A and B are shown apart, each in its own frame.
Chain A
Amino acid sequence: MNDFLNLILQPLDALFLSLMALLPNLLAMLVILLLGIGLARLIHFVLLKFLNAIHFDNLADRMGMTALMRKGGLWSKPAALIASVVFWVVMVLTLMLALNALQIAAIDHLVAQIFGYLPRAFSALVILLAGTLLAGFASRAVLIAAVNSGYHYAKALADGLRLLLTVLILAMTMEQLQIAPGIVLAAFSITFGGIVVALAIAFGVGGIDAARRMIEKEHAQQEQSEIEHL
C-alpha cells in the first residue's frame, strides 16, 4: 500500500519541488514585468514631452511623414506614434527578459532567437521608413518638375516612380527580414525588370509618335513667350 502511495506522491512531490524551484524565477519574472511596464510608460511620457518640445510634428509635416502616415491609414500625431512604437519596443524587450528569467531551456532558446533577429528587424524598419520618405519626396519632386515643364502625364510619371521605388523598398525590407529571400529576389527581379522592359517597349516602339510630339512641343517651347518675369 505504501509503495502505491509513494508511486502517487513522488511525482506530486517532484512537481511541488519543481514549483518551489520555479517560484523565485516566477517572482523575478513578475518583478521584471512590472518594472518594465513602469519603465515603458515613463519612457513614453518623457519621449512624448521631448518630441512635443522640439515641435517634432511640424518637422514630420515638413518631411512628408504625416502625409505618408495618413496614406497608410495612421491618423495619430507623428510624435504620439513614435512614442507608442518605442513604448511597445520596450514592452516586447521586457517580455523577453521576463520570460528569460523563468530559465526554461525552450523559452531561453526562443528568446535568444528573437534577440538575434532584432538587429535585422530594426534595420528593416529603418529601410522601410527612410525608403518611404524618399519615395514620397522623389515622386513629389518629379510631379512638380514635370508639371512645370508642361509634361502632360506628370501625375502618371510621379505615381509610376513612387510604385517603382516602393517595390524596390519592399524587396529590400523583406530581404533584410530574411523572409523567403530567394522568392523575394526572383519576384523583385521579374517585377522590376518587367516594368523597365514594358516602359522601354512602350516608349521605344509604341511611343514613337508620342516621343515625336514631345520633341516637337519642346522645340515649340523655344519660341514661346518672351516676357521678362522679374
Chain B
Amino acid sequence: MSSYLLALRPLEFFFAQYRRVWRGTAVTSVVTPVVYLLALGVGLGVFVDRSADLADGISYLEFVAPGLMAATAMQLATFESSWPVLSAIKWDRQYHAMLATPLRVGDVLLGHQTFVAARLLMTSTVYLVVITAFGAVDSPLGILAIPVTVLVGLSFSTSIAAWAAHTENEVSFVAIFRFVILPMFLFSGTFFPISSLPAPLEAIAYLTPLWHGVTLCRSLTLGDVELWSGLLHLGYLLACVTVGLALARMTYRRRLVL
C-alpha cells in the first residue's frame, strides 16, 4: 500500500464532517465574493476609477477581484487549519482514533491538508465564476488563478497547522487572525499596489505569500502574465507550502508521538 493512498483515507472523515455544514459554506462561498465585489469593485471602484489612474486603463474592479480571490483563500485556509487541527488533537481527538489504525502521522497530516486543498478548490472555483460574471476576468488564462489560489491557501494552512499542533491554547488563533492575517489581507497588494506603502512595509509585503499570490492571480485574470516573474511567484508559493509541511510534520510528530 503506497503512502499516498494511506493519506487519502482520512479524507472520508473530513468530508463526512463537512457534509453537516456544506449548505452554509456553499451559500457563503457565493455570497462573499458578490458582497465584496459590489462594495469594493462596483461601489468604491466608481470613485477610484474617477480619480486614480491604474495601469493600462484597467478598472478597479478588474484590479481588486483577483486579489480578493487570493485573500479569501488565505482566510479560509487559516481557519480550516487552526481550530479543526487543535480539536482533532485535543478536544475531539479524531487524530488519535486515526493513529490507532494503520494510518501514520504523515498520513493524518497529508489527509487533513488534502481536505483543506479540496475546500479551497471548491471555494476558488465559485469565486472565479462570480468575478467572471462581474466582468472582472479578461483572459482565459484566468482559469489558472484557481490552482494558484489553492496554493496560496496551502502556503498558509500548512504553517498554521504546524502552529496549531504546537500550541496548547486556542487564544493564539485569534491573535494570528488579528495581527497576521488581517494586516496581510489589507496590505499585501489586494486593495492597492504595495508601491504605495512606506519602503520598509513594502519590503515586508514582498515576503508575504499573499502578495505573490495576489500578483500572480491578477496577472492571470488580466492576461498580462510574464513567464519568469510568474514562475518566480509560483516557486515562492511552492516553497512556502514545502516549508509549512515540514514544520507541520515536525510539530505533529512531537505532539502525537509520545
Decide whether A and B assemble into one complex: no
Question: Residues of A at under 8 Å CB distance from B?
Answer: none
